[in-house]
Amino acid sequence: MEKINFENILKNVLETQKLIILLFDKDFNLLYFSDNANEICNDVRVKDNISSLFDQYDIDEYNKVMHQGVSLERIMRIGNSFYVSSVYPYTDDRNNVLGIIETLYMIDEKSRLSNEIKRTHMHAYAESEIDSRINIKNGTTYSLESIITNDNHMKHLISLALRASESDSPVLIYGETGTGKELFAQGIHNASKERRNNMFVAQNCAAIPETLLESLLFGTTEGSFTGAKDKPGLFEIAEGGTIYLDEINSMAFHVQAKLLRVLQEKTFMRIGDKKIKKANVRVIASFNEEPFSVVKKGKFRRDLYYRLNVINIKIPSLKERISDIELLTNYFIRIYNKKFNKNILSVDKEAMNILKNKNWEGNVRELKNNIERIMNFAESNTLKIEDIYNHIAIEGIKMNSDDHSEKIEKEDDLNMFWDYDNKTLVEVVESVETNLIRNVLNETCGNVASAARKLGLPRQTLKNKIIKYNIKPIF
């Protein structure tokens, strides 16, 4: 039987896969390189040191791999080509690091942009306070299981989103700012058996000038306009996956027309190109205004609206799911306990009532930001009403209804005709003081410092009286 030459087989595999291998010892001397290494490193020779092949930035990165035992993956531009570089330490039987191995794999522009999007997502969520892990395959963070709720309607929407993940039909999500539209979009993508291993690409249509949005979505060809290069758009990068168009109600009409063609014909063309490309991409879009009212105002194409509105998900505002406020508050407290190295265990009843009665115009995002603000300054193991008064966003505190205004007016009337019969002087003084403090707190939207100035009291004295009289302002 003829002896198998494994070295030749390995060389054939490397050449077929366009994979370049470099092996360095502990002193960063080059011990081995594959034949195709000369394509990227001029005149590679065994015993060359890493300093003769790469610049100082790369050497610093290799040092981290060598001395910290971590792996490194990044995109490198060498000459006119892009490579995915993977660097790993290799060890002996006793787990002592002997050197590093680097593999370089050439990629095209579409793959490069796809990897850049993933890395951007990973960087954005690396320090995230959300208890989720980045999905390396598709760049997402959230799944439908990430949605925190006790609300029956929200649970119904999660069930609807799960069923929606089984089809390729467009999805239209409507919700106010901060309700979690992208969370649902990522959740649908990650629940899809057909698409979850491909890219999820998100683009806020209001965050980029309309002149650039078209080229960003559909790509460009060299010479189509001054400075244009052959560059894939997001529809090519998301091939086989999902594209999420946030705030699509901000999209210009001429771009809406091209998007309509993508949805109807499953095809598109790069700007300046005559070649038709197929679009195997699921489209999920979201409005931050009531969709049909935007259509009726003439700000959005009616035909595109109907084409997108195959599966409709309307996410309720936080004030419509008050039962979730306590659940979310405790969740954010756990997150910021860990982030700020604190040990806040609970929220007292009065403070929680203020949170539940607040008109959260920014919804879950605003609640999260306010809990972060409060916890930056909280000193005890329990969040108390004075923590809410002093640190909650004043501009976000509003009357929830006309009933509250009427209630305040009624209390003012009662204060004017206070019944002093059968009360001691101390009791009368305490009653007047209690109502006066409550009214001033309402006038200052719960800001203790402002109320103290109006009352001519030291701030700490006012805080002590609020606690003593168990004062609860009406918002």
Query: pLDDT tens, 316-370?
Result: 999 999 999 999 999 999 999 988 899 999 999 888 988 998 889 899 999 999 9
Looking at residue 108, what is its pLDDT? 64
- Domain 117-314 bears CATH identifier 3.40.50.300: yes
Place of tokens 């990430």: 146
Alpha helices (H) in 77-180, listed in sequence order: 109-126, 152-164
Helix (H, G, I), strand (E, B) or coil at 215: helix
- Alpha-carbon gap, residue 39 to 32, rounded angstroms: 15
Neighbours of 168 (CB within 10 A): 16
Of residues 471 and 123, which shows the higher confidence score?
A: 471
Q: Which of 207-211, 283-287, 419-423 reaches the highest mean pLDDT?
A: 283-287
Which pLDDT band holds residue 438 (cuts at 50, 70, 90)?
Answer: confident
Q: What is the mean pLDDT of residues 12-32?
A: 74
- Alpha-carbon gap, residue 394 to 60, rounded angstroms: 48
Q: What is the helix, strand, coil percentage profile of the chain, to 5?
A: 50, 15, 35
**pLDDT tens-digit readout, 39-93:** 666 555 555 666 666 655 566 777 788 877 777 777 666 666 667 778 888 888 8
- What does CATH list as the number for 322-469? 1.10.8.60
Residue extents of the structural domains in the chain: 6-106, 117-314, 322-469
CB 368 within 8 A of CB 399: no
Model pTM score: 0.62
Kindly provide the b/e burial profile for residues 49-77, where b requires at least 16 CB atoms within 10 angstroms of the residue's own CB: ebeebbeeebeeebeebbeeeeebeeeee
Which pLDDT band holds residue 114 (cuts at 50, 70, 90)?
Answer: low
Looking at residue 299, what is its pLDDT? 92
Place of tokens 């001519």: 456
CB 250 within 8 A of CB 209: no
pLDDT at residue 274 greater than cutoff 80: yes
Determine whether 426 is exposed, middle or buried from the number of CB atoms within 10 Å of its CB (0-12, 13-18, 19+). Answer: exposed
Q: Could you name the CATH architecture of 6-106?
A: 2-Layer Sandwich (3.30)
pLDDT at residue 18 greater than cutoff 70: no
**Maximum C-alpha span of the chain:** 115
- Alpha-carbon gap, residue 256 to 287, rounded angstroms: 14
Helix (H, G, I), strand (E, B) or coil at 142: coil
- Alpha-carbon gap, residue 12 to 19, rounded angstroms: 10
- Alpha-carbon gap, residue 163 to 14, rounded angstroms: 43
User: Quick one: CA torsion of 234, 237, 240, 245, rounded to 10 degrees?
Assistant: -20
pLDDT at residue 426 greater than cutoff 90: no
